[in-house]
Amino acid sequence: MLDWFHVTMRLTVLGQMARGLPRDIEALNYVPERLERAKYHLWHGHVGQGFEELSDLEMELSSALDSPQVDPACLRKMKKYVVETMGYIGNNHAYMVNYSEWYRAGERISTGFVESAVNQVISKRFVKKQSMGWTPRGAHLLLQIRTQVLNNELEDLFRQWYPAFRKAA
């Protein structure tokens, strides 16, 4: 499953870019609404419709680039990010679920807080001047073991390697 955190962060950046667009160009007045519709469709598992909203947005930005009263650099940057977001969604559409159903069912839709904690711990240990540090290989091995512990697979693996290891409970 694709983490909702990653999808929504891309849409949030686009929303922030939309706030900086000029309001005097009619075609650009609907950008925030189109982003909200795309987010709604993606949240509800309608990936094709969400992708279509972003595609329409990209076309609107392209046509607005022809307008003489707009800063082309601002629009080009936003258009580029819309295209990147479309590529991200296109590449990961098979892993997108109906996040609203999962959320209502109490399932996880995001692991951003876990990723943040892992990144903090790992980056802290890799920084120089720490009393203790990890090599990339050591960090990789530690994460493999930690994953096996969290999945309750480590004891079974030990039993495969060492048949005399304590008996299963």
Residues 114-159 pLDDT 10s: 666 666 666 666 665 555 667 888 888 888 888 888 888 888 888 8
- Determine the 3-state secondary structure of 60 from DSSP: helix
Under DSSP, the state recorded for 81 is H
* Whether the Cβ atoms of residue 54 and residue 40 lie closer than 8 Å to each other: no
Whole-angstrom CA distances from 1 to 76, 101, 135, 165 are 31, 13, 30, 36
| Rg over CA atoms, the chain | 23
Q: For the whole model, what pTM was predicted?
A: 0.66
132 and 87 both lie in a single domain: no
Task: Identify whether 168 is part of a domain.
Answer: no
Task: Identify whether 80 is part of a domain.
Answer: yes
Whole-angstrom CA distances from 166 to 146, 147, 148 are 20, 21, 17
119 and 47 both lie in a single domain: no
Helix residue ranges, H only, 4-111: 4-19, 31-43, 47-64, 72-92, 99-104
Structural domain that includes position 149: 114-161
Task: Identify whether 33 is part of a domain.
Answer: yes
32 and 96 both lie in a single domain: yes
Task: Identify whether 166 is part of a domain.
Answer: no
22 and 77 both lie in a single domain: yes
97 and 124 both lie in a single domain: no
Indicate if the pLDDT at residue 94 is higher than 70. Answer: yes
Name the burial class of residue 54, with classes exposed (0-12), middle (13-18) and buried (19+) by CB atoms within 10 angstroms of its CB: buried
Please give the share of the chain, as a percent, with pLDDT higher than 90. Answer: 41
23 and 44 both lie in a single domain: yes
Task: Identify whether 167 is part of a domain.
Answer: no
Q: How far apart are CA 71 and CA 3, in angstroms?
A: 34
Which of the listed residues 104, 134, 152 is the one where a domain comes to its end? 104
Q: What is the pLDDT of residues 57-68, one digit of tens each?
A: 999 898 888 777
Residue with tokens 């949030």: 12
11 and 32 both lie in a single domain: yes
Task: Identify whether 11 is part of a domain.
Answer: yes
92 and 124 both lie in a single domain: no
Q: How far apart are CA 67 and CA 48, in angstroms?
A: 29
12 and 47 both lie in a single domain: yes
Angle between helix 72-92 and helix 47-64 axes, rounded to 10 deg: 160
* Whether the Cβ atoms of residue 70 and residue 22 lie closer than 8 Å to each other: yes
Number of domains in the chain: 2
Q: What is the pLDDT of residues 14-72, one digit of tens each?
A: 999 998 887 777 778 889 999 999 999 999 999 999 999 999 999 989 888 877 777 77
134 and 83 both lie in a single domain: no
50 and 82 both lie in a single domain: yes
74 and 123 both lie in a single domain: no
- Determine the 3-state secondary structure of 111 from DSSP: coil
